[in-house]
Amino acid sequence: MNTGLQQESVLTSEEPFYQTLGNEETVFRQAWQHGMPVLIKGPTGCGKTRFVQHMAHRLNLPLYTVACHDDLSAADLVGRHLIGAEGTWWQDGPLTRAVREGGICYLDEVVEARQDTAVVLHPLADDRRELFLERTGEAIKAGPNFMLVVSYNPGYQNLLKGMKPSTRQRFVAMRFDYPSAAEEQRIVEIEAGVESKLAAQIVRLGQALRRLENHDLEEVASTRLLIFAARMIKAGMPVREACLACLAEPLSDDPQTVAALMDVVDVHFE
């Protein structure tokens, strides 16, 4: 059984860095204040998770993060009975803990989870704001500090793994994308701790690689990968090696495609 789902953040005095790109903080705060769940849509590595971490810190709320996957069931979220030397006891899952204690439960890539999870989420995502534990018969009313947040990458959706309209319409939704060149440069500078010249080169490279999205690439170069490359270069790794390890290889398994990506790298770092 999967018992390693819960990741409870510890609030510290240091706020997670997030570059605000629009009115997303206002929308999120208003949703929390009015007991509304939030859906965040956007490509891989564009800052969805960091934004949720940032807002949890801003609102001074504990954060329970669950990385959803094919085998994630409703029981993984709400909890289960465990058997030990002292008998049987109930252990709350991350969703139940967030509802009981107040806090944000963030389900990352929610469409990857099994369909039975929607049955659990629906009563929490409407005016009832209630979690029913079928195994114990307990109905838990969510307090004012509880917030349900889910995210997914629309680019990965297919007929088998899309969010149903009846579920999607229960959420306040926000669409994220990669930032503008100037904003992304600032993010790379701060996150990787590099000079503006290198950050600008990395961002220009990233934009060039994104223009190749229709060339056998399932995904484009994310802001996260650009930060990885910048950190490697700052640490002393040769530029070409850093870009190969942090950009080209993560984007494709095809040797010819990787070679084509490295041709683009060579143009930008002559």
Q: Which pLDDT belongs to residue 213?
A: 66
Cα–Cα distance measured from residue 162 to residue 257, given in angstroms and rounded to the nearest whole number: 29
**Could you tell me how far CA 148 lies from the centroid of its own chain?**
14
| pLDDT tens readout for residues 165-222 | 888 899 999 999 999 999 999 999 999 999 999 999 999 999 999 988 666 677 889 9
Identity of the amino acid at 165: P
Taking the CA atoms of 140, 141, 145 and 148 in sequence, report the sign of the dihedral they define: positive
Q: What is the pTM of this model?
A: 0.86
Cα–Cα distance measured from residue 187 to residue 107, given in angstroms and rounded to the nearest whole number: 25
Cα–Cα distance measured from residue 206 to residue 55, given in angstroms and rounded to the nearest whole number: 27
Mean pLDDT value across residues 232-258 = 95
Cα–Cα distance measured from residue 208 to residue 264, given in angstroms and rounded to the nearest whole number: 7
**Could you tell me how far CA 171 lies from the centroid of its own chain?**
16
Cα–Cα distance measured from residue 68 to residue 71, given in angstroms and rounded to the nearest whole number: 8
Element (H, E) at 140: strand 138-141
Of the chain, the percentage scoring pLDDT greater than 70 comes to 91
**Could you tell me how far CA 221 lies from the centroid of its own chain?**
16
Question: How do beta strands 79-84 and 87-92 pair?
Answer: antiparallel
Q: Which pLDDT belongs to residue 88?
A: 86
Question: How do beta strands 63-67 and 104-108 pair?
Answer: parallel
Which residues, including other chains, have CB under 8 Å from residue 270's CB and lie 6 or more apart? Answer: none
**Could you tell me how far CA 113 lies from the centroid of its own chain?**
14
| pLDDT tens readout for residues 114-168 | 888 888 999 999 989 999 998 888 899 999 999 999 999 887 655 446 677 888 8
Residue 191's CB is within 10 A of a number of other CB atoms, namely 19
Cα–Cα distance measured from residue 37 to residue 44, given in angstroms and rounded to the nearest whole number: 21
Mean pLDDT value across residues 40-55 = 93
Question: What b/e string do you get for 55-69 counting C-beta neighbours within 10 Å, with b at 16 or more?
Answer: bbbebebbbbbbebe
Identity of the amino acid at 135: R
SS3 category, 15:
coil
Is residue 113 over pLDDT 80?
yes
Mean pLDDT of the chain: 88
Q: Which pLDDT belongs to residue 117?
A: 86
Q: Which pLDDT belongs to residue 3?
A: 42
Compare 238 and 13 and report the one with higher pLDDT.
238
| pLDDT tens readout for residues 201-210 | 999 999 999 9
Place of tokens 């030397």: 85
Give the DSSP per-residue string, 164-216: PHHHHTTSEEEE--PPPHHHHHHHHHHHHT--HHHHHHHHHHHHHHHTTTTTT
